[in-house]
Amino acid sequence: MGSPITRLNLDDYIRKIPDFPKKGVLFYDITSILTAPAAFSYCIETMADIYKNREINAIAAIEARGFLFAAPFALRMGIPLVLIRKKGKLPGKTVSKKYSLEYAEAEIEIHPHDVPQGKQVLLMDDLIATGGTLNAARELITGCGGIIPEIFGIVGLPFLNYEKQLAPTPIRTLIQYQSE
């Protein structure tokens, strides 16, 4: 069965792929966590342990890998899951937000009626890089009446300065990489 997963060896379950999606970028692929049930369980159980005594009324996650961690966490905690999707993927009434990526522009959207008014919504994504997508998501949720007490990610890349983009909201990750 092997040794238990710890914060120190979670790195062993994250595949590093050089030159993806473009030359010079080192891609941190969390899909390899999903192929290791012990590592996946470690992530969900650690999240549950971190937030068990916090007032979190819902979790909002960004498409698509953020959903994979947020859904079992929401179920484990007994809280609603709010989906943040790419423009054009949600039916019915939505609100959207455009934001800039390193090399393009993108847009995300949310169902405004899914956001609990005046309640604490934990915002999460699988990996926090520059913070652009999470910043747009935070603006969507707060614009719909939710309160973001904290942002959570499995992986953080602080060398890309996401703290500046996401200030003053506290940010927590399970693992951080200090440089590429």
What's the pLDDT score for residue 5?
Answer: 60
- The mean pLDDT of 125-146, rounded to a whole number, is 97
Single pTM value for the model: 0.92
Active site positions, annotated: 65, 102
47-94 pLDDT, tens per residue? 999 999 999 999 999 999 999 999 999 999 999 999 999 999 999 999
Positions of E strands within 41-167: 58-62, 81-86, 95-100, 105-110, 121-128, 151-156
- The top-level CATH class assigned to 54-176 is alpha beta
Residue 147 CB partners (closer than 8 Å, separation 6+): 118, 119, 120, 121
How far, in Å, are 7, 81, 135, 155 from residue 168 at the CA level? 26, 24, 11, 19
58-71 pLDDT, tens per residue? 999 999 999 999 99
103-130 pLDDT, tens per residue? 779 999 999 999 999 999 999 999 999 9
